[in-house]
Amino acid sequence: MKIVQNIQQAVDAANELKKNGATLALVPTMGNLHDGHLALVREAARHADHVAVSIFVNPLQFNNQNDLKTYPRTLDADLDKLEQAGVDLVFTPLPEIMYPDGMNEHTFVFVPGLSDMLEGALRPGHFKGVTTVVTKLFNIFRPDCAMFGQKDFQQVAVLKKMVKDMAMQIKLVEVPIVRNEKGLALSSRNGLLSAEEKEKAPLIYKQMMRIRDSIVSGRRDFDALIKESRAEIDSNEGFRTDSIDIVDAESLRPVTGLTARAAVLMAVYLGTTRLIDSVSFDL
């Protein structure tokens, strides 16, 4: 496994892997890797001859500087996991490598509409940071495909539109959410939870499934469903609901009579840790 820290090294290493027509899959991450990330790596290996992974805690997508400061960083353990998983190339740049003139002077990529709604409204600038860094990674590696987890449901939608609008010749592969035995979606932020909070956290999944089952059974009073789940979550000590949305899974707009697939999106604070989750389903 080759590990590189600067952009030219990454370009050269990626080009070497792609010699003689070999294909390359990219898995962009912010590190603190868990089984969800490793599922992305396994999926990448099914789609291409070689797998590259980036580990970069991207400051441009953090609107909360304390969140950036406390984001878990476990580079040595991450590299061990990736080597065991058979990854060919790992890119571990520092912010000054990715943004040599500073973030305020860096060109950015922005997807209007999708980036400003839902999670984007709650975290201004977040998706601009995501699309900018992902575009840069795509330009560095020129991969044939890239893997993204469905836990970040809106992020996938934003990136799909970016790829389509900008005619990027890259296949985006969506990988299902990996959960623990109690339903908690695996996330790097779970490491910030206490043992007691980890036991409580599956309540989020339970409430998402309650909404899903109610809709599949025929309920269409979405505001009431959201109000009920918000009340149930917030009545439990340590929880504070940030947002619950029921949307068209493709457009992320409100569900209409033409919606074929819907999604429930949740963002909930447990203690000081903000957890996001989603579930999509056919109507």
Q: Which of the residues are catalytic?
A: 37
Q: What is the largest CA-CA distance in the chain?
A: 60
Tokens 């520092």 belong to which residue?
94
The rounded radius of gyration (Å) of the Cα atoms in the chain is 19
Cα–Cα dist 110/146, whole Å:
19
Phi then psi for 228, rounded to 5 degrees?
-65, -45
Token pair belonging to 261: 């697939």
Cα–Cα dist 148/137, whole Å:
13
Token pair belonging to 190: 């779970």
* Residue of 133, 131, 140, 161 whose CA lies nearest to 251: 161
State which amino acid sits at residue 9.
Q
* Residue of 224, 282, 218, 273 whose CA lies nearest to 66: 273
Distances (CA, A) of 61 to 58, 80, 99, 110, 129: 6, 26, 13, 12, 4
State which amino acid sits at residue 77.
A
